[in-house]
């Protein structure tokens, strides 16, 4: 069976508008109604044969396969190093001071993220390979409430 390019484009656009289980249901119904094989669906519509196979299995069995999209992606540094946040907090607490103008309750840390990383290696026993980058450590310190910047010294007022 030959399909016109307009029909193929229409079916492809309709499938692209859906996602997940509804998309696979549409794919299975389209393949069944047009009496296509998985290879023909791949050639006409650009669908992966594994996805078409999964869609046909779901249509046949009536059981919808759950996608594990929440399990994808990179895990945060705390997942691999459970003591990292506590160690960051312990190192940063020693070098913190309040805002010199006392206008905010922020704590300013007089360390740089690179220095915190160096102290994690020296004092806490981490290796350089297992620790995250300097930018990541800076982000973790900001998330913990420490602001990494030089503390402005009180300047005498000019007369």
Mode of pairing for the β-strands spanning 96-98 and 107-109: antiparallel
Instruction: Tell me what pLDDT residue 16 has.
Output: 92
Distance of CA 153 to the CA centre of its chain: 39
Instruction: Name the H helices within 35-154.
Output: 38-45, 49-61, 77-80, 84-93, 113-124, 134-143
pLDDT at 24 over 90: yes
Instruction: Tell me what pLDDT residue 154 has.
Output: 60
| CATH number of residue 105's parent domain | 1.10.10
140 lies in the same domain as 88: yes
pLDDT at 49 over 60: yes
Residue 105, domain extent: 77-148
Counting Cα atoms < 13 Å in the Cβ hemisphere of 11 gives 23
Instruction: Tell me what pLDDT residue 42 has.
Output: 93
111 lies in the same domain as 141: yes
Residue 69 lies in a domain: no
d(CA 31, CA 27) in angstroms, rounded, equals 6
pLDDT at 47 over 90: yes
């Amino acid at each position: 069976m030959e399909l016109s390019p307009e029909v193929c484009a229409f079916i492809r656009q309709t499938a692209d508008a859906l996602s997940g289980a509804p998309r696979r249901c549409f794919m299975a119904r389209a393949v069944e109604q047009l009496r296509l094989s998985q290879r023909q669906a791949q050639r006409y519509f650009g669908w992966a044969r594994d996805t078409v196979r999964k869609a046909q299995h779901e249509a046949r069995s009536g059981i919808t396969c759950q996608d594990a999209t929440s399990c994808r992606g990179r895990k945060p540094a705390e997942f691999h190093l459970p003591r990292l946040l506590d160690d960051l907090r312990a190192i940063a607490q020693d070098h913190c001071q309040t805002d010199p103008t006392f206008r905010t309750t922020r704590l300013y840390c007089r360390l740089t993220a690179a220095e915190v990383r160096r102290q994690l290696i020296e004092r806490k026993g981490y290796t350089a390979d297992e620790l995250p980058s300097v930018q990541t450590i800076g982000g973790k310190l900001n998330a913990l409430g420490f602001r990494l910047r030089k503390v402005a010294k009180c300047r005498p007022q000019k007369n």
